[in-house]
Every structure is written in C-alpha cells, then in structure tokens.
C-alpha cells in the first residue's frame, strides 16, 4: 500500500472531473451570501460538506444529481465562475495533478443573464488565474475544459458549436451528461456529427447507470473517443475455469484502446458498483483495458485524485508502478495536443515517479 502523502507528490493526470462538483464548501457559503442564493441547507461550512456528501451517497445516479442544484445555484455570475474555476485549478495542483480536463455544462449557468459564451469565457479566465497561482506556489498545472450538454435537454447542438468556437482558448472537447437511463446519446446525433466534422473531440457519459447498449450507442453511433465511467463494459466479460472471456463489445473496447474514465468512489455512490472491492476497475486493469482513474465530483464524493489512488492501493495492492501506469494512461488519452501530452509524460510524469521510487529505495536502505 502506498501512503497518501507519497501519492500527493506523484504527478497525476485527471480526465473526468465536474467543475460544479468540486467547489470548496466555504466558497459555496460565501457565494450564496454575496449572490443572494437562499437555497443552501445550512451555512455551516463543515455541516454543508457533510450534508452534500450524505445527499450524494444514495446509490442512485438520479438522486446523486439532485445535490448539484446548490453548487449550480451559486455559480450564476461571472465573478463566481472565475473564482470557482481558479480555486479548482489551485486545489488540483496542490494535490499533485499536472494536467486536468474539467467539464461543465454552460447551459446551467445562464439563469442570471450570462450568455453561453460569457460563461465559457469566465471559466477559462478562472483556469488561467488558477494556473498562474499554482505555478507561483511551485505546483504547475495545465487545465483545459470540456463542455457538457445535458442529455435530458435540447441544446446539445448549440453547446457543440460553442465548444468548437472556443477550441483555441482552452476548450478541448464535447460531452453529454445527466441521467443516462431514458436519455440515450443518439438523441444528440446532430451535435456529435458537428463535432466530428470539425475534427474535434468527443467523450460521452456511458455505461455508468445503464448497460452495454449505452456504451455501444456512444461508440458506434456517436463517435465517442472515450467513455465517461464505462464500468458496465464488465457486463460483457465472463469467467469460467478456462479464464476470462470477452464479448464482442468488450473486445472492441480493449482492442481499440478506448479510454475508460473510471471514478470508483462516485460509482459506488451512484449505485454503479456495490463496493470498492467489487468495482470492475481492477479486473479491467488486469485485462489491460485502457483504464484511467478520476474523481468525478470531489465535493459530492468527498475525494481527491490522491485519495482515490490511495483507496485503490489499499483495496488492490497498487504500488507506484500501477499508479504511474494509470497516470500515463490518462495523459495518453487526454484531448490535449500530442506535443503537450508527450512533454508531460516524458518530462514530468515519468521523472516524477522515478524520483519517488529512488526516494523509497534510499529509505529502505537506511531502514
């Protein structure tokens, strides 16, 4: 087992994290007071964090999503969006994240008059501010944005066009999010076709609360390059005395190296997996799927990327080698340009783990 203090020092990449799922509780209270939002269940910072965590851990994706009413409720002004984005970059950098793709749904932040473009511009400005603060603190990070359309709404083409419009300013991809069951990705084909025509990037929430048909549609109809969560791909794997056998869809996902944006603790909270020990992430890793480890919603699930790796290390015996492999998987799968991905892998991630291993060896010799 690797101590969380060491994992925090390890350079990591994060592909699946929701901006409105990672606010600091103290920031929520302050923004609610400044913006006149009266919906918070409490203004006690510690109790608010506990309330949100309890609300999210109800073993249902639909119930899990209800907690976002409060985070989105305080993110309706330009200043609030800038602040939340800047703090997000700082918090991730302090946790050892060197590259992050933060996703958010611009259509959820226009209740007080902001345009969709103004929402995106505010968030990207916040990321730039946070990157500068993190670098000054000795924790450089690169943060990019993925724009999500809500799958139960009808603005996906508009959001896809918005993503393309801001692709040279820090937006690197398009996603659909929200309740999976009853809202298949094929409802948004116009949006996905627009993204494909523009040679842009697509990731889709699929295989979290719904099964293999959701994954198949995301890949074969919508052109997903990555799968948000994707844990239900394990339903297409059987086991008998001769070993593990992959069905056609599971074989396709593994053969094509489709990245799985897995979020273990969140998957338990939404009912996608019964426990960490029974989560399919370890099986998929051993079968050499392109697994990545992510946080999903740091506030709702009470996690950091380091704590997720520490949990997996405790449950499955992950060492630095496994954590490095998973981190490189994420960086390889990022929507950032190839040169940036290669630089971070060769100049930051691999040297970082080599340094940690050398420290561990010296400590072992001294002991």
Active-site positions? 208
Going by their DSSP bridges, the two strands 226-229 and 260-262 should be labelled as parallel
**CA 58 – CA 239 distance, rounded (Å):** 30
Sign of CA dihedral 320, 347, 295, 210: negative
CB within 8 Å of 190: residues ≥ 6 apart:
156, 157, 160
Tokens of 46: 């510690």
**CA 1 – CA 297 distance, rounded (Å):** 24
Per the CB < 8 A criterion, the answer to whether 14 and 62 are in contact is: no
CA 141, 338, 82 angle in degrees (round to 5)?
35
Going by their DSSP bridges, the two strands 237-240 and 243-246 should be labelled as antiparallel
Query: What 3-state class would DSSP assign to 75?
Result: coil
**CA 326 – CA 200 distance, rounded (Å):** 24
Question: Phi, psi at residue 313, to the nearest 5°?
Answer: -65, -40
**CA 25 – CA 31 distance, rounded (Å):** 10
Per the CB < 8 A criterion, the answer to whether 245 and 239 are in contact is: yes
Per the CB < 8 A criterion, the answer to whether 39 and 125 are in contact is: no
Other C-beta atoms closer than 10 Å to the C-beta of 35 total 16
């Amino acid at each position: 087992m690797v101590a969380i203090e060491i994992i925090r020092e390890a350079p990591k990449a994060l592909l699946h994290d929701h901006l409105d799922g990672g606010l600091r509780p103290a920031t929520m209270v302050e923004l609610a007071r400044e913006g006149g939002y009266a919906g918070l269940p409490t203004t006690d910072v510690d109790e608010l964090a506990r309330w949100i965590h309890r609300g999210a851990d109800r073993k249902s994706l639909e119930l899990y999503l209800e907690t976002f009413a409060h985070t989105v409720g305080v993110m309706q002004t330009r200043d609030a969006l800038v602040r939340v984005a800047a703090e997000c970059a700082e918090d991730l950098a302090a946790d050892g994240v060197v590259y992050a793709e933060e996703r958010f749904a611009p259509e959820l932040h226009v209740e007080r008059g902001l345009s969709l473009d103004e929402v995106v511009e505010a968030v990207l400005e916040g990321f730039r501010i946070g990157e500068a603060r993190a670098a000054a603190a000795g924790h450089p990070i690169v943060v990019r944005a993925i724009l999500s359309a809500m799958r139960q709404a009808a603005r996906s083409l508009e959001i896809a066009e918005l993503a393309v419009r801001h692709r040279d300013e820090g937006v690197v991809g398009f996603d659909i999010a929200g309740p999976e069951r009853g809202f298949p990705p094929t409802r948004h084909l116009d949006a996905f076709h627009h993204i494909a025509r523009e040679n842009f990037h697509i990731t889709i929430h699929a295989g979290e609360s719904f099964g293999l048909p959701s994954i198949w549609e995301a890949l074969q109809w919508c052109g997903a390059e990555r799968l948000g969560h994707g844990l239900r791909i394990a339903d297409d794997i059987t086991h008998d005395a001769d070993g593990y056998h992959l069905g056609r869809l599971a074989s396709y996902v593994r053969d094509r190296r489709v990245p799985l944006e897995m979020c273990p603790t969140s998957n338990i909270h939404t009912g996608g997996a019964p426990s960490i020990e029974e989560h399919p992430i370890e099986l998929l890793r051993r079968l050499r799927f392109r697994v990545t480890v992510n946080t999903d919603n740091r506030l709702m699930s009470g996690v950091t990327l380091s704590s997720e790796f520490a949990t997996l290390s405790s449950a499955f015996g992950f060492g630095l080698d496994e954590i490095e492999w998973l981190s490189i998987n994420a960086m390889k799968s990022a929507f950032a340009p190839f040169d940036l991905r290669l630089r971070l892998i060769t100049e930051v991630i691999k040297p970082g783990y080599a340094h940690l291993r050398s420290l561990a060896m010296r400590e072992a010799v001294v002991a």
